Amino acid sequence: MFNKKSIVFLLPEYYETPIGGYKVVFEYSNRLVADGHSVTIVYPYFIYFLESSIKRKLKMCFFFFYYLFFKRKGVTGWFPLNKNVTTRFVFSLSEKKIPKADIYIATAMETAVFLNNYKFIDKKNKYYLIQALEDWQWGTETALSTWKLQLNKIVISPWLQNIAKSLDEETVLIENGVDRKNIKLCIPYEKKDKFTVMMLYHKQKLKGCDDGLEALLKLKAKYTLLNSIWFGCPDRPLNLPDWIEYYKLPDESLLNELYNKSGIFIGTSYSEGFGLTIGEAMSCGCAVACTDAGGYLTMAKHRETALVSEKGNVQTLVNSVGELIENDKLRLEIAKNGYEFIQQFTWDIAYGKFTKFLIENKN
């Protein structure tokens, strides 16, 4: 039995809408407080303000006044965060603003730089949860420079661990759990509609959603029965044709229904640290066709658990989906193999490794 610890997670900013990396932090936080540990999640109002784009500066200012005047606290509904998890908003991530704790965990490259520079915290108590390459804001070189900081590093996929190895950096691999209580197989593989293709929508270009739409339009021209289901945080994209259904922020019950209606799920990203949605799709018995974005490959094994195509190659994605539609035997094999393979990615296993690395070695 290990001692009870106080733990601080440093997040780069607050979001009102679902973020995959934040889900991971919240899941660990819930489990830690359930085991009797003290957890504080810290959100800064301003971080690298001068270096940020005008759009990001305006966003920081908006949230500063939003919380200052409306005194909003905590996560607003999209994740069931345990009430015993403390949420703290701070002006910046300067060390004097951060509560005292036994363990500190940076969760993004910006927060890793701040944590590394804290002078009154022993480096053995500093951790860096690396969930993506994070090269989209300040470039690959800057992102990877944070991997060389004097922090104890955790990565969530073999792809990220291989990058760390190429830098001669030691990491501990703790793959995310995928299991969610209300996301599960309800409709057998063989009864799913092979002409219903599901996809996550995101505005970020690196998510490849424009490629997904282009692929679906090509497929619709060949398979007139084709329909598609999209879900995401933004409003419905204006350029979506009527035959594509769109669901903004579906709750777990509806999301599970959508996964189970769909015979095929496509992942279109150019970069993924892990790729929770294709794992959820596998959990619900969808046959997955996705790009070779690094994190996807943790779960997507070509022609075993998924059909994998080169990122950015729309025609190959079209071919993959077409093959799943036309080849019932292959589609059902992919769906079954994916479902069975994904059962190993549980939060119980992930949390056990997480606490072993963070806490049991801190006695």
Q: How many CB atoms lie within 10 A of CB 264?
A: 28
Tokens describing residue 342 = 């994904």
Residue owning tokens 């079209």? 318
H or E stretch at 8: strand 6-10
Tokens describing residue 277 = 């949605």
Cα Dmax for the chain: 64
Predicted local distance difference test score (pLDDT) of residue 257: 97
> Rounded to the nearest 10 degrees, what angle do helices 252-261 and 276-283 cross at?
70
Q: Which segment of 47-56, 147-156, 205-214, 249-258 scores lowest on mean pLDDT? A: 47-56
Question: Is residue 363 pLDDT above 50, yes or no?
Answer: no
Q: Which segment of 6-10, 71-75, 312-316 scores lowest on mean pLDDT? A: 71-75
The model's pTM is 0.91
The residues that bridge with 180 in the sheet, in sequence order, are: 183
- Higher-pLDDT residue of 97, 48: 97
Residue ranges of domains in the chain, CATH in brackets: 6-177+346-362 (3.40.50.11090), 189-342 (3.40.50.2000)
* Predicted confidence (pLDDT) per residue in 41-74, tens digit: 998 876 654 566 777 667 767 766 666 665 554 5
Can you tell me the mean pLDDT for 137-161?
Answer: 94
Q: Cα separation of 294 and 275, whole Å?
A: 9
* Predicted confidence (pLDDT) per residue in 255-292, tens digit: 999 999 999 999 999 999 999 999 999 999 999 999 99
307: left (phi over 0), alpha (psi -120 to 50) or beta: beta
Predicted local distance difference test score (pLDDT) of residue 1: 45
Is residue 7 within 8 Å of 38, Cβ to Cβ? yes
Check residue 147 and report its DSSP letter. Answer: G
